[in-house]
Amino acid sequence: MSERMGDDIKVSVIITTYKRPFKTLSRAIESALAQTHRNFEIIVVDDSPDSPERDILKRQVEEAYSEKLAYIQNLKNLGACASRNIGISRSTGQYIALLDDDDQWLPEKNKLMLQCFSSEDIGLVYCNYHTYRNGKPITIKGRKRYEGSVLPQLLESNFIGGCSIPLIPRHVFDTCGMFDERLPASQDTDLYRRIAKKYQVKYLDEPLVIYHFSDVSISSSQEKQIRGRLMLLDKYKDDYAAYPAVKRIYFCDIFVGLIASKRSDEAWELFRKEYNPSFTAYLRILPSVGKALVKRLYWALR
């Protein structure tokens, strides 16, 4: 590790929470406190609606961690990305590490990732992770990992993962902007794409994060996911024009998602908008549709 990455480097840990029980939130906090890179601050941003439960959670957190973190309560529900932006704006560290309230870090996470910033052109470091579905570990085969100039790969899919995974220098947010609060979903993908336009991305092949998700969270977020992807399709239309094969893959994921959500009319309307309906157009997207269907089936059977 260079002197620049020594103990004098401060990492700001931003934990956003929404209506979580203290037991779950404290699991995330404890994993942040256990980091072997000891120069850090923790900022918890509570986006829960005003309620007695929210006040109870604040009291529990402050009693358990009074000297170890800053606790911010939003005056009203603003959304996860607005909360992340608030936490980043209030932070003082040279590096930003985001942590969702139901995820965990392994102790070496920030220390090992800091060591990967070997040059100024690296704007994001990400790592491998363990995945838990409904509280049980699962193995996901065929994960693709890329590093270097990765914009085309990010236009196809978010191979980096959720917000709990990467470590990002503060100056990168100054250059690329913060989370786009207009997006209903895929805000992490959008941020990664903007970073990849200006910086290199580095991968650390160590599982340093425990990522939790549930069937309930998947089903409740499907509508937002589709709307978010449609917005990204438009937001990056100029980039997709340079990578038509990548656009087909991303488009077909959205198309199949609409079909699976019993919104066939919207799916075919989108097809007519994006492609000149013809037999040739059908043949061109058919392989990508097939891959999207297989991917969706794979996750349904996990």
175-193 pLDDT per residue, tens: 999 999 999 999 999 999 9
- Please report the pLDDT score of residue 255 as a whole number: 84
Same domain, 146 and 288: no
Same domain, 211 and 249: no
The answer to whether residue 223 is domain-embedded is no
pLDDT at 300 over 50: no
The answer to whether residue 251 is domain-embedded is yes
262 pLDDT band (50/70/90 cuts)? confident
- Please report the pLDDT score of residue 216 as a whole number: 63
- Please report the pLDDT score of residue 197 as a whole number: 98
CA distance 140 to 136: 13
Q: Are 47 and 11 in contact (CB under 8 A)?
A: no
- Please report the pLDDT score of residue 115 as a whole number: 97
What proportion of the chain, given as a percentage, has pLDDT over 90?
71
Final residue of a domain: which of 197, 216, 235? Answer: 216
pLDDT at 292 over 60: no
CA distance 32 to 52: 27
Same domain, 131 and 249: no
- Please report the pLDDT score of residue 288 as a whole number: 57
108 pLDDT band (50/70/90 cuts)? very high
Range with the poorest average pLDDT among 75-79, 120-124, 218-222 = 218-222
Number of domains in the chain: 2
Share of the chain residues as helix, strand and coil, in percent rounded to the nearest 5: 50, 20, 30
Give the CATH number, domain containing residue 85.
3.90.550.10
Q: Under DSSP, is residue 98 helix (H, G, I), strand (E, B) or coil?
A: strand
Same domain, 43 and 167: yes
Q: Mean pLDDT throughout 35-63?
A: 96
Same domain, 132 and 179: yes
pLDDT at 257 over 90: no
79 pLDDT band (50/70/90 cuts)? very high
Same domain, 282 and 139: no
pLDDT at 291 over 70: no
Domain ranges, residue 285: 243-300
Same domain, 251 and 289: yes
On average, the pLDDT of the chain sits at 89
pLDDT at 286 over 70: no
Final residue of a domain: which of 200, 216, 232? Answer: 216
Rounded to 10 degrees, the C-alpha dihedral 139/145/151/152 comes to -80
116-171 pLDDT per residue, tens: 999 999 999 999 999 998 889 998 877 889 999 999 999 999 999 999 999 999 99
CA distance 78 to 92: 22
Q: Which DSSP state fits 48?
A: P
CA distance 161 to 163: 7
Same domain, 11 and 107: yes
Same domain, 108 and 248: no
The answer to whether residue 228 is domain-embedded is no
- Please report the pLDDT score of residue 283 as a whole number: 53
- Please report the pLDDT score of residue 140 as a whole number: 80
Same domain, 168 and 259: no
The answer to whether residue 233 is domain-embedded is no
The answer to whether residue 222 is domain-embedded is no
The answer to whether residue 236 is domain-embedded is no
